[in-house]
Amino acid sequence: RNQESSSSGHCLAVVLSRLANAVTPLWRLPYQEQLQVKYESQRKILQTLASRLEELGIDAQKPGGLCCPLQPVVPSPIINGYRNKSTFSVNRGPDGNPKTVGLYVGTGRERNIVCVKANHMENMPSKHKQVAQCYEEFICCSPLDSCILFHEGGHWRELVVRTTSCGHTMAIITFHPQQLGQEALATQKALLKDFFTSGPGAVCALTSLYFQESTMTRCSHEQSPYQLLHGAPHIFEELLGLKFRISPDAFFQVNTAGAEALYQAVGELCQATGDTVLLDICCGIGTIGLSLAHQVSKVIGVEVVEKAIEDAEWNAAFNGISNCEFHSGKAEAVLPQLLASWEDARPLVAVVNPSRAGLHYRVVRAIRNCSSIRRLLYISCKPEGEAMRNFLELCCPPDPRKKLAGEPFTPVLAIPFDMFPHTVHCELVLLFTR
């Protein structure tokens, strides 16, 4: 038994190490070395952009083969436990428990996926781990199975935990209803609420407990509403002296302290004057626009998530900011209409902060063809991905075939921000002018 126990402990240690290496591959390095690794990766991205621009006939080579000067990586003010949002899966653990709540190691292609508890992850706060442990305890006592593969049945699925520096905690549980009727669903929701309010889960002190019935991998509020089982409908965060309301599916930078440093730099790079209009594309709950509203004459925000726009409007009103307007809808539908008839003589500065999928081509085209936009800040969490396509579209020569009639932009400065310590990822701010 001692040998079996030792072997089991060794296997678990190996799996835990694999998870840490997969999710936070730089966790073994001293933080200054992490920053150097990230600087080198961003340098290669700018070299690639310079080469791609050269292929388009644009003389973009700067010292070091970069397309523009690259500043050192701005470090994160918090290195461990910085995440304010974590997503946990439910699947088989290393011990075979099909109701393990954690993060994946392995791939579907290799058919070697295992779900490992995240207790040792350095980028995750203890509160997130506590809620995940309680959720696992709850579903292990439930007669309902976990939903590992949709077509094989089962119900219990993902857990999302969001926390704020104000001490608020929101838990969002995703549930596959399968063939359950409304009465059975109501029973499960009541059990879940009781567990987290008066049962063992009460130790989590949840501010908000949400439940979402979903038959898809990802489901928006519009597709399947988030159902509030307990507590307040929103959690609140403070950033740069402002208070922000956050809905369950609203975007908020995962590193709050890092976001403050990022937004302060964005404000400086905008070089906005009192008569400037700030165009905040993919504005989320309005964090960037509202934090810069005091510098400009007007902020115009565009965001696809309706609830996030409701948050942005509430945030503006609560903070006494009256020079902002927010538009709900896909940027590729809203922005061309906004800019097509733009006749305002005031300087127009654009800030874009899209998802990893980058900007839709129609958004880039609308920006290119609006001559009033002379300065553009592109914030990307994956500049080597689809954002690279956007960079080339912004900088390429005019192309009538693609309806790119506007003067091209030029990259003039790049600043990486370490929003994700222990990982290989960086948030890159690229300043374009024309």
CATH 2.40.30.170 applies to domain 85-236: no
3-class state of residue 338 by DSSP: helix
The per-residue pLDDT for 177 is 93
Q: Rounded to 5 degrees, what are φ and ψ at 341?
A: -110, 25
Note the pTM of the prediction, 2 decimals: 0.91
What does the pLDDT look like over 269-306, one tens digit per residue? 999 888 999 999 999 999 999 999 999 999 999 999 88
The per-residue pLDDT for 215 is 80
Residue 385, class by beta-carbon neighbours within 10 Å (0-12 exposed, 13-18 middle, 19+ buried)?
middle
Pick the CATH number of 255-433 from 3.20.19.10, 3.40.50.1370, 1.10.10.10, 3.40.50.150: 3.40.50.150
CA distances from 180 to 153, 184, 194 (A): 11, 6, 20
What does the pLDDT look like over 403-426, one tens digit per residue? 888 899 999 999 999 999 999 999
Q: Name beta bridge partners: 100.
A: 91
Regions of the chain where pLDDT drops below 50: 1, 3-4
381 is an active site residue: yes
CA distances from 347 to 226, 272, 321, 324, 371 (A): 40, 8, 20, 16, 10
> Which residues define the annotated binding site?
253, 303, 353
> Which of 283, 381, 396, 426 is the catalytic position?
381
**Stretch(es) of the chain classified as CATH 2.40.50.1070:** 85-236
> Which residues define the annotated binding site for S-adenosyl-L-methionine?
253, 303, 353
**Stretch(es) of the chain classified as CATH 3.40.50.150:** 255-433
* Euclidean distance between CA atoms 83 and 71, whole angstroms: 25
3-class state of residue 159 by DSSP: strand
The per-residue pLDDT for 7 is 53
